[in-house]
């Protein structure tokens, strides 16, 4: 009897201990996270996921044990398709985590998969952490590319979006802007037709400087992607071609040019709109044309000169005529900027954003480089611009505007470098080849820097601070790499760009695929007036939110950021305009990067 009793005690003791260590292991493992692209990995592209272990884990020996831990990639049937071992990557100081790398690049069979990591934990042997299903395919890239292009359609202003094209996000015409006054600060009589164009972001403003960098990035995709022919209509289920979508914005640009060649800065509501639909905003308040700056005028000149190149290339008569209109407008804008090199932007943030920029040298470089290559290739010089003066100024621009990691509405010099680098192919004389070679070398130097930064970072990022719109920065770094890959064919450039895109689609500290509608983890409450007020549960799809932003400029709105550390500075809440707003200048480089990845890897 006593033997039995003591045996029962022993069994109880044993099962309690095992249970404890099992729970202990579960707790520890719950702290480990798999970070991966929630949507998918390209068939032929590199495939990496991360396993993160918090520094203050309950089992302090865990980080050492993880190196060499086994992982498997399992298909839908549950069978293992690939096995590998984790390798240490580095410590991440913006999340306080140890980060490990799982490489399954060798798995190239299209399908749906999950990642399972077996970790040697506590006393219970192995416990695993699972991912959700993701794809290995090329289709996901195309699908996301389409969604991104379509997101610009949803940002259209002043036109009806019919059910036929917009589905449940259809909406009536509003914000016509075809007969609006100048804002009081302009002290100008009369009404102006500023119809059309895209809303900039989650607000209802329309801005030239941000529209111009967005158009410039999309035009780059058109210019560089021979494989993705312009006629997206049948295959992309779009109401229009990508070029038609770009043209929608450019028609608005053309309307924003004053008779003297200068270009107005923005269309702004009198006050910030509440979270209401455009048709309700129309009832509530008036909209105005505001400002005319050197930056907006040069930005316009750069974008429209590039439009000339792209629209000419389609060979269609209507496009050729449009190209000529764009180029003439670009030349006239450039001349206005030469005569007005210090025209200030309107310092107004009552109703719309500032986009203030004191440095115009980079905008001059952009405009000059785009104009130069068109004139050199025979575009009509309607204003009699002196081409050798233009060329000499360009050489000065190259000296004083080194390339940046990526483009932004503030720093636009990479458009200049890219124009020269891409024009190399068509160079007819040695002098121009020298300009082109120098531009290629500069963009390769910058790309090599991006690769170095990427390699040194636990999450594989090349940015060193999470600022407002960090996802836009990340996409722009990827775009620089993908442009330089075109002629260099340096595999590191393509691989690094793919890694940066993986971050955007989920391989990040906040476990979020930052494009609306892309995955189970996508934002549901973006700071986007239409998505909030259209009565549809899902936000408009294909919109990239700003993402992690350690500056947290919206703390007065009481957002619930996911953690105190910089890397957790994101929340999927409408009030968080600093981390969860969408904007065309973040979507555009992502669109261009996806288009180029498709171009290079299919
Ligand atoms: O993207 C802009 C970011 O770089 C600035 O720091 C921020 C504050 O000036 O403004 C961002 O742009 C916003 C613009 O001013 C108004 N429309 C929404 C834009 C995205 O948040």
**Which atom of ligand 1 is closest in space to residue 410's alpha carbon?**
4
Res 208 pLDDT > 80: yes
Long-range contacts of 54-57 (CB under 8 A, 24+ apart): 54/96, 54/97, 54/98, 55/91, 55/96, 55/97, 55/98, 56/96, 57/28, 57/31, 57/32
In the block, which residue shows the tokens 């750069």?
A: 302
Laid out side by side, the sheet with 97-103 consists of 33-35, 48-54, 97-103, 87-92
Checking if the pLDDT of 9 tops 50, the result is no
CB 582 within 8 A of CB 201: yes
C-alpha 581 to ligand 1 mean position (Å):
9
Q: Is 185 helix (H, G, I), strand (E, B) or coil?
A: helix
Is residue 236 over pLDDT 90? Answer: no
**Structure confidence at residue 15 (pLDDT):** 44
CA 355 – ligand 1 centroid, Å: 7
Q: Is the pLDDT of residue 483 over 90?
A: yes
Which residues on neighbouring strands pair with residue 201, listed in sequence order? Answer: 583
Q: Which two tokens stand for residue 547?
A: 């993402």
- Angle between helices 470-488 and 430-456 in degrees, nearest 10: 130
CA distances (Å), 556 to each of 14, 23, 396, 575, in order?
Answer: 53, 40, 45, 10
Which of 475, 583, 587 has most ligand 1 atoms within 8 Å of CB, for mutation? Answer: 583
- pLDDT > 90? residue 10: no
The DSSP annotation for 42-77 comes to -TTS--EEEEEEETT-SSTTHHHHHTT-EEEEEETT
Atom of ligand 1 nearest to the CA of 200: 17
Residue nearest to atom 18 of ligand 1 (CA): 201
- Nearest residue (by CA) to ligand 1, atom 6, is 468
Mean per-residue pLDDT, 127-132: 86
* pLDDT > 90: percent of the chain: 83
Q: Quick one: average pLDDT of 351-368?
A: 97
- Which of 291, 347, 353 has most ligand 1 atoms within 8 Å of CB, for mutation? 353
Query: At which residue do the structure tokens 């190239």 appear?
Result: 108
- Mean pLDDT, rounded, for 207-226: 95
Residue nearest to atom 10 of ligand 1 (CA): 353
Percentages of the chain per state (helix, strand, coil), in multiples of 5: 45, 15, 40
Give the mean pLDDT of 326-336. Answer: 98
CA distances, 443 to each of 229, 390, 436, 488, 493 (Å): 26, 22, 11, 10, 11
- Tell whether the model's pLDDT for residue 589 goes beyond 90: yes
Average confidence (pLDDT) over 168-193: 98
Q: What confidence tens digit (pLDDT) does each residue in 57-83 have?
A: 767 777 777 888 899 999 999 999 999
- For residues 313 and 429, the model is more confident at 313
pLDDT tens sequence across 423-443: 876 566 777 888 999 999 999
Ligand 1 atom closest to 352 (CA): 16
Q: Which atom of ligand 1 is nearest to the CA of 355?
A: 15
* Mean pLDDT score, 514-522: 98
State the angle between helix axes of 413-423 and 387-400 in degrees (0 to 180), rounded to the nearest 10. 120
**pLDDT tens sequence across 255-291:** 999 999 999 999 999 999 999 999 999 999 999 999 9
* CA dihedral (332, 479, 237, 506) positive or negative: negative
pLDDT score of 423: 87
Task: Output the pLDDT for position 391.
Answer: 95
Report, as an integer, the average pLDDT of 123-136.
79
When pLDDT is cut at 50, 70 and 90, the band that residue 243 belongs to is confident
pLDDT > 80? residue 505: yes
Q: What is the pLDDT of residue 64?
A: 77
> CA-to-CA distance for 322 and 327, rounded, in angstroms?
9
Instruction: Report the alpha-carbon distance of residue 221 to residue 479 in Å, rounded.
Output: 10
In the predicted structure, residue 237 carries a pLDDT above the cut 90: no
């Amino acid at each position: 009897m006593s033997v039995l009793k003591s045996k029962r005690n022993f069994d109880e003791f044993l099962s309690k201990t095992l249970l404890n260590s099992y729970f202990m292991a579960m707790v520890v493992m719950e702290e480990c996270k798999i970070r991966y692209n929630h949507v998918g990995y390209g068939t032929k592209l590199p495939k990496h996921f991360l396993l993160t272990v918090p520094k203050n884990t309950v089992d302090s020996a865990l980080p050492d044990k993880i190196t060499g831990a086994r992982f498997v990639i399992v298909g839908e049937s549950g069978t293992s398709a690939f096995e590998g071992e984790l390798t240490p990557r580095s410590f991440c100081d913006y999340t306080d985590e140890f980060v490990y790398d799982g490489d399954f690049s060798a798995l190239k069979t299209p399908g749906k998969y999950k990642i399972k990591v077996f970790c040697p934990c506590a006393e219970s042997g192995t416990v695993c952490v699972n991912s959700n299903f993701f794809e290995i395919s090329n289709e996901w890239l195309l699908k996301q590319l389409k969604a991104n292009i379509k997101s610009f359609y949803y940002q259209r202003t002043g036109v009806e979006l019919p059910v036929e094209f917009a589905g449940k996000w259809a909406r009536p015409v509003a914000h016509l802007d075809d007969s609006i006054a100048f804002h009081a600060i302009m002290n100008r009589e009369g009404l102006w037709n500023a119809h059309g164009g895209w809303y900039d972001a989650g607000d209802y403003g329309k801005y030239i400087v941000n529209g111009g960098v967005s158009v410039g990035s999309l035009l780059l995709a058109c210019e560089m992607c021979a494989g993705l022919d312009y006629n997206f209509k049948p295959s992309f289920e779009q109401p229009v071609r990508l070029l038609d979508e770009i043209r929608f914005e450019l028609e608005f640009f053309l309307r924003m040019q004053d008779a003297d060649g200068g270009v107005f800065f923005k269309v702004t509501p009198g006050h910030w709109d509440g979270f209401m639909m455009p048709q309700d905003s129309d009832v509530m308040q008036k909209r105005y044309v505001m400002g005319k700056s050197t930056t907006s005028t040069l930005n316009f000149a750069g974008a429209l000169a590039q439009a000339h190149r792209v629209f000419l290339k389609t060979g269609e008569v209507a496009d050729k005529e449009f190209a000529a209109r764009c180029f003439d407008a670009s030349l006239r804008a450039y001349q206005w900027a030469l005569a007005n090199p210090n025209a200030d932007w309107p310092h107004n943030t009552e109703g719309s954003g500032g986009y203030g920029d004191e440095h115009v040298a980079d905008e001059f470089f952009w405009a000059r480089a785009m104009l130069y290559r068109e004139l050199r290739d025979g575009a009509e010089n309607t204003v009699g611009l002196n081409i050798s003066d233009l060329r000499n100024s360009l050489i000065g621009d190259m000296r004083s505007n080194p390339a940046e990691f990526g483009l932004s509405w503030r720093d636009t010099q990479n458009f200049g470098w890219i124009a020269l680098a891409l024009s190399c192919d068509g160079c007819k004389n040695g002098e121009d080849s020298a300009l082109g070679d120098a531009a290629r070398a500069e963009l390769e130097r910058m790309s090599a820097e991006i690769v170095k930064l990427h390699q040194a970072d636990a999450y594989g990022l090349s940015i060193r601070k999470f600022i407002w719109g960090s996802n836009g920065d990340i996409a722009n770094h990827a775009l620089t790499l993908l442009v330089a890959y075109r002629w260099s064919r340096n595999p590191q450039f393509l691989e690094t760009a793919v890694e940066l895109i993986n971050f955007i689609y989920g391989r990040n500290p906040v476990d979020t695929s930052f494009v609306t509608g892309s995955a189970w983890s996508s934002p549901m409450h973006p700071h986007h007036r239409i998505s909030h007020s259209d009565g549809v549960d899902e936000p408009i799809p294909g919109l990239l939110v700003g993402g992690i932003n350690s500056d947290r400029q919206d703390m007065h709105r009481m957002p619930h950021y996911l953690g105190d550390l910089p890397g957790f500075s994101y929340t999927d809440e409408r009030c968080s305009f600093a981390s969860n707003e969408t904007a065309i200048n973040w979507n555009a480089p992502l669109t261009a990067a996806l288009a180029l990845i498709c171009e290079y890897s299919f």
